[in-house]
Structure 1
Amino acid sequence: MGFRRSALITGLGGALVLASLPATASATTWRYLTIKGLSRAGKVPWITAQIYDPAAQKSWPVMGRDNAVAKLPDKRTYEIYATLARAEPNEAPENTVVLTTFKLSKGHDKVTLSAKSGKPIDVSVGDSSVQGRIRVHVRHGAMDFTTDDVPGRLYAVPVKRSGVTFSQGSTWTGSGVLYRLGTSYSGGVPAGVTQHVTKADLASVKVTYRSFGDGMKVNPRCRGAIWGGDDEMWLDAPATVTEYVQPGAACKRELWYESSSHPLFGNVTVGTRTYAKGEALAETWNAAVFAPAAPGGYRTGDTLHYAPANLLSDGPGNWGFDQFTIANVKLRTGTKTLGLDAYEPDVTLGKKTAAYRLDVTATRDGAEATLSDRVQVSWVFKSARTSKKTALPLTTVRFAPRGLDDRNAAAPGSTTEIPVRVVTNPGATAHAVTTLKVEASTDGAKTWQTLPVANGVASVVNPAQAGYVALRATVVDNAGNQVTETISRAYRVTG
């Protein structure tokens, strides 16, 4: 594998030059390209650009106040993706996206980019209570050039270019309201982008974001081909927001969270979704119990692979992780401990069928007053050499307590019903459960009480004083596979 090193050089007129240099010596003759610009008003703008070599799929970022100078290898045709920003005194700021190609032929060439023919990116939602931000993406191969600004200040110069896609995504926020819109075009930059909608044109999703730690803030996001990217809408949790979403557009929903009172930073995510026009849905995120959503793990030949992922997924099954979580993994067979851990997820096993025990512990680092501060899973299973990639015969237990409030708390002295569901590793054969034992602890896991389970629902009589309830489940199936799952601070009890 080759490595690159970067050089930052001050160029002419205060411009910045950023070039990627090869780690090994070569006979490359370096050439320079000076990019100048004109705003739509014919004045000198601030230039931010990426110079892209589509053949090598490499790019060079450059910027400058009156010009930008790039140091490039070889005589060849480059694509230039640029934003020309006007920010003169007493003038309204604006950004214009410009795309062109340029064949570098001399030792030092020059090109001028003009925003004069820029067309407005005109987007609105018909709701005066919200404020919007638009993000533009121009993509070709490995290039993804982005520009963002508020509505009314973004323009793009039309150009036809095979293989280039242009998309805009906008996010509009207000008190308890969030709009997500977007459009996409192929074959270059279109001659004007217009999108005007009202609530009736969209799908609506009423989303409740619960809290599971003190001082929590949450940031709902949506990722996909047309969306505006990362949305900086941070809310104090718990919170309820009505989202109005572009119908038919694929959206990978994410929820980032952080805390100001203790180490807590991570995200919860769900698979890609689409919504239909006029559809009205309701969702809940960050609902207890936070525990493994799916086991994961597989074997190929004599190699077992297991990585501790999604150990803190929420009750509805949205997969999650916490960047301040410490994961400990141990694999044993008999009295022998095998070399498997969180950082080396592969280990070679014996060829014959053997019984294994896989223990995983996830601990939130210093996360006082946080739910699921410690999650432990212990699997016992048999495995033998496989002829192809085969999912390990592992299961997890999902708990979904009913009646908790938006801080994932039950009232003191109340009874909480907890539906219990056994989830098989995707791709593995599901076996009939022969034993299901569910227990609860209200004294910090010092003592445990077996819970009655009827029709897949366990019942907990909550203590009369404030505190936490821990949960533990043991499952055995008719193939002899076993899992014991323990969740410290599964939910709160508070008045």
Structure 2
Amino acid sequence: MNDSAPLRGTAPDTRRRTAPGTSRRAVLRSLALAGVLAGTSLATLPPAAAGNGAPETYTLTIRHLDRAGATTGGYLTHVTGISGPGASEEATPYDESGTVTVRLPEGRYLLDSTLSGPAGTTGTDWIVQPRLDLNRDTTVTVDARTTAPVDVRPPEPGARHLNSLGFVEVTHGGTTRSANVMTSSPGLRVAHLGPDGESGSVREWFDTYWSGASNDYALGYTFTAERALTGLVRHPTATSLATVKIRAAAPEGTTGTGFVSIQPSAGPTVGLVRPLRAPGTATVLVTPERGLWDVDHTGPAAPETPPNRYSAHAFPVHAGATTTHTFDNAVFGPALDASPGARPAGVRDGDTLALDLPLLADGDGHAPTAPRFHGATTTLHRDGVLIGTRQGDPGRATFTTTSGPASYRLTATATRGDGAEAGGRVTAVWTFTSAAASRPAALPLSVVRFAPALDLDGTAPAGAPVRVPVTVQGAAAVTGVRSLTVSMSADGGSTWTRVPVVNGRAAFQTPGPGRSVSLRAELTDTRGNTLTQTLRNAYRTR
């Protein structure tokens, strides 16, 4: 999953802010682990020593008023330095009287305060002053009467609020500081305090998560301005939201309950985490204006076996459209990450040749963290001579060769399943030429992906004509394909029949009930590099 640590279900009102040099994602991880912070009392800081080149300090007095206008001790206030001599300062002053003083060096500060009502009341007030220029003794009044409601709700009237996160970042002089509030309770109100900052200096995120009768909701909004928000009203319609379907498969009878999570890709968030029994589907409606989204799936845990995790990150969504991600289903096989900046699947660095490729990615191409396999072997030949054999993780191996140009044959194989549960076998054989260079270079590796329409138990109808999508990834997708042939087998790979590939689809008829379909691709790219990829018992019929 992305670097944040989503909270499962609801959480108590919790808040943190970033100290200098702390990432906002690390802050949210601490949110998930910390528990209740509200009510923590820290003594007023003593006056700073003067002289000896120490920066000038000033007294900051902060008064806290509740929604009735009375002074209150029910607050948690934080002051964080942004620029000037006080840029590295951080203080959480408290006095039960509701008025507190602290001495700080001159500089620009971010102040935020969370106020809570007396016991038995509901509602939280979050007041943010993104620009506090401390250049003289200063008094600030944090007044809950200035706040306005955060009224963000899904189009389903009976949906239950799980949690909300408000997060603000303030930038000045090239330095960014942040603060946040998180609540699982209704009645959050927010307000800006003090003068405006510079144009675009304040960025703010609000994410709310809800559980409905048949759908969940992840509603997120972002703002860039010179002020913090005072109130927020958003009532999206169903047609203005995008639908994300998360399907957990149970191939070969691997049933059980796992977890799925969804969260925006950018900015801080706590995410929505829900249990999901396999086979099963979770449906979440999300706000397209929040940008790209991330989904993670943790499969059912087996005794003495680490849970298998899959991720689909940074995918776009569109209002009124449905995006579906299926995890842990056939056809299992090699997959390459084509996202910008992704690490190559194979690299030649001097005399070292390394393969790092998910050999048992699921049918959607998601790479597992703990693939189920029973034996995996990788071998490398140079000009027909065996360089070495490696056993261990499928598709991962490192070899040492010699510098001169040569022809290589790299073979990776793995048997799916575990022990008596072992099933299909995946084999990829690449040939290419390579020589040592002055800098690391990607190996010209390609893979072929097959995407038949399968139920969540990994099966397709028996005796039916099918047109299976075939996709080329890797080097051949860039330089071009010279030839590509596809064959299928209905007897576990004992015999093979070449099938036509028209408009990117392989056409054949599935065998009778309870049989398996095996698939083979033979590819040559325009530079003469080849791939022979065999997926024995790729999927079953019913």
Q: TM-score, normalised by structure 1?
A: 0.71
1:432 partner letter = R
**Contact 1:353/1:385 (CA < 8 Å) preserved in 2?**
yes
**Contact 1:328/1:341 (CA < 8 Å) preserved in 2?**
yes
Post-superposition Cα deviations, 1:15-49, rounded to whole Å, max 9, x if no partner, equal 469xxxxxxxxx999x9x99988463443236375
In structure 2, the residue matched to 1:129 is 158
Taking the TM superposition and a 5 Å limit, the aligned residue runs for 1:68-147 are 75=105, 77=107, 79-80=109-110, 82=112, 84=114, 86=116, 88-94=118-124, 96-100=126-130, 115-132=144-161, 133-140=163-170, 143-147=177-181
In structure 1, the residue matched to 2:223 is 185
Closer/same/farther in 2, CA of residues 346 and 416 from structure 1, 3 Å limit:
same
1:268 partner letter = S
In structure 2, the residue matched to 1:266 is 309
Which has the larger share of helix?
A: 2
In structure 1, the residue matched to 2:452 is 401
**Contact 1:206/1:282 (CA < 8 Å) preserved in 2?**
yes
Same amino acid, percent of matched pairs: 22
| Structure 1 gap ranges (5+) | 5-12, 18-26
In structure 2, the residue matched to 1:475 is 523
State how far apart, in whole Å, the 1-side matches of 2:237 and 2:92 are: 39
In structure 2, the residue matched to 1:23 is none
Taking the TM superposition and a 5 Å limit, the aligned residue runs for 1:209-220 are 209-212=248-251, 213-220=254-261
Post-superposition Cα deviations, 1:74-111, rounded to whole Å, max 9, x if no partner, equal 946364464525274212152525345667899xx999
State how far apart, in whole Å, the 2-side matches of 1:254 and 1:305 are: 33
Post-superposition Cα deviations, 1:244-277, rounded to whole Å, max 9, x if no partner, equal 333444223423223133533312315431414x
Residue 282 of structure 1 and its aligned partner are, at CA, apart by: 5.5
State how far apart, in whole Å, the 2-side matches of 1:230 and 1:260 are: 22
Residue 184 of structure 1 and its aligned partner are, at CA, apart by: 2.0
2:506 to 438, 457, 467: 457
State how far apart, in whole Å, the 2-side matches of 1:119 and 1:370 are: 60
Taking the TM superposition and a 5 Å limit, the aligned residue runs for 1:193-342 are 193-204=232-243, 208-212=247-251, 213-225=254-266, 228-261=269-302, 263-276=306-319, 279-281=320-322, 283-286=324-327, 287-294=329-336, 296-297=344-345, 302=350, 308=356, 311-317=359-365, 319-323=366-370, 333=382, 334-337=385-388
**Contact 1:50/1:81 (CA < 8 Å) preserved in 2?**
yes
Closer/same/farther in 2, CA of residues 364 and 119 from structure 1, 3 Å limit:
farther
State how far apart, in whole Å, the 1-side matches of 2:79 and 2:106 are: 16
1:383 to 434, 443, 454: 434
Secondary structure of the corresponding residue to residue 148 of structure 1? strand
Matched, 1:167 2:219: no
Closer/same/farther in 2, CA of residues 348 and 139 from structure 1, 3 Å limit:
farther
Which has the larger share of strand?
A: 1
Closer/same/farther in 2, CA of residues 375 and 131 from structure 1, 3 Å limit:
farther
**Contact 2:294/2:312 (CA < 8 Å) preserved in 1?**
yes
**Contact 1:124/1:196 (CA < 8 Å) preserved in 2?**
yes
State how far apart, in whole Å, the 2-side matches of 1:271 and 1:65 are: 45
1:239 partner letter = G
State how far apart, in whole Å, the 2-side matches of 1:436 and 1:385 are: 34
2:405 to 347, 350, 353: 353
Residue 198 of structure 1 and its aligned partner are, at CA, apart by: 1.8
Closer/same/farther in 2, CA of residues 14 and 263 from structure 1, 3 Å limit:
closer
State how far apart, in whole Å, the 1-side matches of 2:334 and 2:177 are: 36
RMSD: 5.2
In structure 1, the residue matched to 2:17 is none
Residue 479 of structure 1 and its aligned partner are, at CA, apart by: 3.7
State how far apart, in whole Å, the 1-side matches of 2:276 and 2:422 are: 18
Q: TM-score, normalised by structure 2?
A: 0.66
1:453 partner letter = V
Post-superposition Cα deviations, 1:317-352, rounded to whole Å, max 9, x if no partner, equal 4x4332567997665534334999989999887554
